[in-house]
Amino acid sequence: MQKNSTHWLVTRLTTLPLAALFIYFITQGAYLTTRVRMEFIGWLQKPFVTGAVLVFILCAFWHAQLGMEEVIIDYVPSAKAQKLSLLVNKLVFLILGAACLYATYAISYGKF
């Protein structure tokens, strides 16, 4: 498979869990918005919810990184600037995603 078709396929595949989990979190939102912080933490500490949040974070940041990559490729004219922008793009999303994963892990296992 060529690079462009792989990029397209991965972008579409990351959308599937995002859509399903978004619907799940929206349905849980009505319940969660009326609760206090410790009830939210208790909800997040459930194994299924923790797994769902971790998958959502992974897919969301990967999908966002891929989308920004497309924008950079389309709108940054210089090859040098494009290469640097793509590198910064990957680093920023990697750092932000890792921070979110760590925060979820810390809350889920009581290390907050």
Give, for 46, the enclosing helix (H) or strand (E): none
**Angstrom distance (rounded) from CA 45 to CA 23:** 20
Domains of the chain in sequence order: 3-108 (1.20.1300.10)
Q: List the one residue out of 5, 3, 10 whose CA is nearest residue 65.
A: 10
Instruction: For the full predicted model, state whether its pTM sits above 0.85.
Output: yes
Q: Are 68 and 89 in contact (CB under 8 A)?
A: yes
- For all residues of the chain together, what is the average pLDDT? 91
- Per-position DSSP letters for 53-93, written without gaps between them: HHHHHHHHHHHHHHHHHHHHHHH---HHHHHHHHHHHHHHH
Q: How much of the chain, in percent, has pLDDT values that exceed 70?
A: 96
**What is the rounded CA–CA span in Å between residue 60 and residue 70?**
15
The predicted-structure confidence for 31-51, as pLDDT tens digits, reads as follows: 788 888 888 889 999 999 999
Q: How far apart are the first and last CA of the chain?
A: 44
53-73 pLDDT, tens per residue?
999 999 999 999 999 999 999
